[in-house]
Chain A
Amino acid sequence: MAEAQDFTLKIRRFDPESGEQAHWQDFGVELDPDRSVLDGILQVKDREDASLAIRCSCRAAICGSCGVRINGKSALACNTRLSDAKQTASNGAITVEPMGNMPVIKDLIVDMDAVHWKKIQRVVPWLLPEGEPPEREYIVPAEAMIDVTQSMACIQCGVCVSACLSLEVDPEFIGPAALAKAYRFVGDPRDDHTEERLRDLAEDPHGIYDCTHCFACIEVCPKDVAPMSQIMRLRRRATADFGIKDSNNGYGHEKGFVDIIEKWGTLHEAQLLPRSFGQGSAIRGQVEPDAVKQLLRDMPTALRGLRAGKITPKKALMHPKLPGQKNVRRIFEEVEGKKERLELNLYIVGDDGDQAEGAQAEGSGES
């Protein structure tokens, strides 16, 4: 164990009973640098001010109580080392403030019911098997159970909710934790409402297509649940497996994009809008009333682009094929023609480093 060192914790205080605004307060702590920010906070409570409020229990990143923002980054206080926190601290003081995107109750405690649990409840978070259960267990592929265990590993700490950049601008977004929870059922072969769940999440304007793909949840998740990856799998299941043509253009955007690359090899931006609005079809995107309405909404933007010289009429109409595009098309045909989609989930297999043997690509159980 290393020598104890001095650290300064700059903690965001808020006491709703005091009538005062939230403010920062500095505390000095003395601890082994390998100990956690939570240990630091507990030392403050133990030695200096026991009124400092933070939820915490297990100290081992299992119970999910102590989500906070440390130097602005959402994290569990218990598995952030003081030494690491000090490195990202500006002016030497480690700042600790309550999680974002949720109302603050007191000091570092936020109201998770108002945001997080409400959204969890929204995704129908229980298994919906069809009919009577079997006499023994459900027989399901081992890979499928391991696969959903990644989202089962979620401890509902809310750290991803705190970091979510879509939630920041759209409080109605279902959010990373709840959508990861949704995948836990969509990916579970025992659940019998897969399509219904996917349709629901695809049609909700604040559902899977409201995720802006910013990786913030993946970055902060203390349990490697990778919520955004689960959201992308929800999209994949919705489009590729069930062909769900949602009214948010999620299906059209994916299909349009993929088709364009298959056809030209690189992105033909001018084609993406009508295809997105037309469920993947450029023709439908230019004739169907809803699609046309959306295209018209984008006309001023297009005109601005033309005026600026970014977009030329030629570029809008024509797109050069890559030299040797047939090779790209062949890859599309070959890979997409396979009976089972192959996915390598590094959560499960890890990195084989320099090991040559023993590494196996895993089918995800999706077929």
Chain B
Amino acid sequence: MKLAYWPGCVSRGFTPELHGSMELVAPKLDLELVELDRANCCGAGVIAEHNQELVDTLNARTFAMAQDVEGAAGMMNICSTCQGAQSECQERLDADSAYREHINSNLDAEGLSYERDGAWWNKNFLWLVVEEIGLDTLREKVVRPLEGLRVAPFYGCYIVRPTRRLGFDEHPERNRYLDMLIEAVGGESVHYAGSHKCCGFPVITMARTTSLRQAGRHLADAIDAGADCVVTPCPLCHLNLDLQQPEAVKYVERDLGMPVLHLPQMVGLALGLEPDELGMDKHVVKTTDVQRKVAELAGA
């Protein structure tokens, strides 16, 4: 399947292991990724906060570029925040034809135009695996079932709310895709309070206590529920849950030490890729225990 691919900023910035692992996983799933290398930041909610017309124009630009990729089935992103921020713009662009025309006029100079098309889509890797590839197909491709690995799903706000905007009416199961995917690769999905809550990243510079209490609390809940690791489709969540985890410890006053995987890393492990290839050494919280468990699986 050929896809217009928008990796987002952070996957090429502070979480390079995400971009890297996605590139390795794609061919194993028969995905041909055409990276949108001229596309801009989705705005991450911040540009939307600043100026709605601006963010709608910027994302219409990305969509237009994706629509220009010949033979692409659709557009894929690998970041919950990109998904949410872009869906918000797409909702407005699709809702009102006069508004869409107005936004497109901002793109005239570049010869770009976003066309409303019910069949065109922009999906996070998570949605894409479940809806376009199919969990049965994925199961067939698994060479290393993650049996016995207890994985706590962490979705990220932008990919689960608001449900109406994110197409949950049509796909109500999107609320539990990550759990389903964990099970499909042989792992055990761990239920805990924080799976659909906020990692706190958006306010890390503005309300540090709120931010790190959130991250710390969800990690603690995952630990208490007996998880071996957390997995997330959102690199921003990853920053707060992994990079900031040693700081979060101070706000929940308990030890944490919970490894946090990117979704393509977990899928990659199941598809037979090695932890090193997937950049699992590039985490702040060591993934050694997860790696050992996986190695044991391979040995078994």
Binding site for B on A (CB under 8 A): 87, 165-166, 168-170, 173, 205-206, 209-216, 218-219, 232, 235-236, 239-240, 248-250, 252-254, 257-258, 261, 265-269, 272-273, 276-277, 300-301, 304-305, 307-311, 315, 322-324, 327-328, 330-332, 334-336, 338, 341-344, 346, 349-352, 355-356, 359-361
Contacts and interface: CB of A to CB of B under 8 A. Distances in A.
Given A334-B106, A341-B53, A305 B210 contact: no
Interface of B: 9-10, 12-17, 37-41, 43-54, 56-58, 61, 84, 91-92, 94-99, 102, 106-107, 109-110, 157-158, 161-163, 172, 197-198, 200, 202-203, 205-207, 209-211, 213-214, 217, 243-244, 246-247, 281-284
Given A258-B46, A335-B51, A359 B96 contact: yes
Given A240-B50, A267-B10, A267-B44, A248 B61 contact: no
25 contacts: A168-B197, A169-B217, A212-B203, A212-B211, A213-B198, A218-B161, A219-B161, A232-B45, A236-B51, A240-B50, A240-B51, A248-B207, A249-B205, A267-B9, A277-B205, A310-B15, A323-B37, A327-B61, A331-B106, A341-B52, A344-B92, A344-B95, A344-B96, A352-B97, A361-B98
A212 B209 CA distance: 11
Contacts of A349: 95-96
Contacts of B243: 301, 304-305, 308, 310
A265 B29 CA distance: 30
Contacts of B58: 261, 328, 331
A232 B44 CA distance: 13
A138 B79 CA distance: 47
Contacts of A351: 94-96
> Which label, helix, strand, loop or mixed, suits the secondary structure of the A interface?
helix
A305 B284 CA distance: 7
Nearest to A206: B207
Given A215-B158, A331-B61, A331-B106, A170 B206 contact: no
A301 B106 contact: no
Contacts, number: 220
B280 to A, nearest CB: 11
B275 to A, nearest CB: 14
Nearest to A257: B46
A269 B96 contact: no
A290 to B, nearest CB: 13
A310 B15 CA distance: 6
B161 A254 contact: no
Contacts of B13: 266-269, 315
Given A212-B210, A254-B46, A331 B54 contact: yes
B49 A276 contact: no
A322 B284 contact: no
Given A249-B205, A346-B91, A352-B96, A212 B53 contact: no
A260 to B, nearest CB: 8
Given A331-B57, A331-B58, A257 B102 contact: no
A335 B15 CA distance: 31
Contacts of B95: 344, 346, 349-352
B197 A165 contact: yes
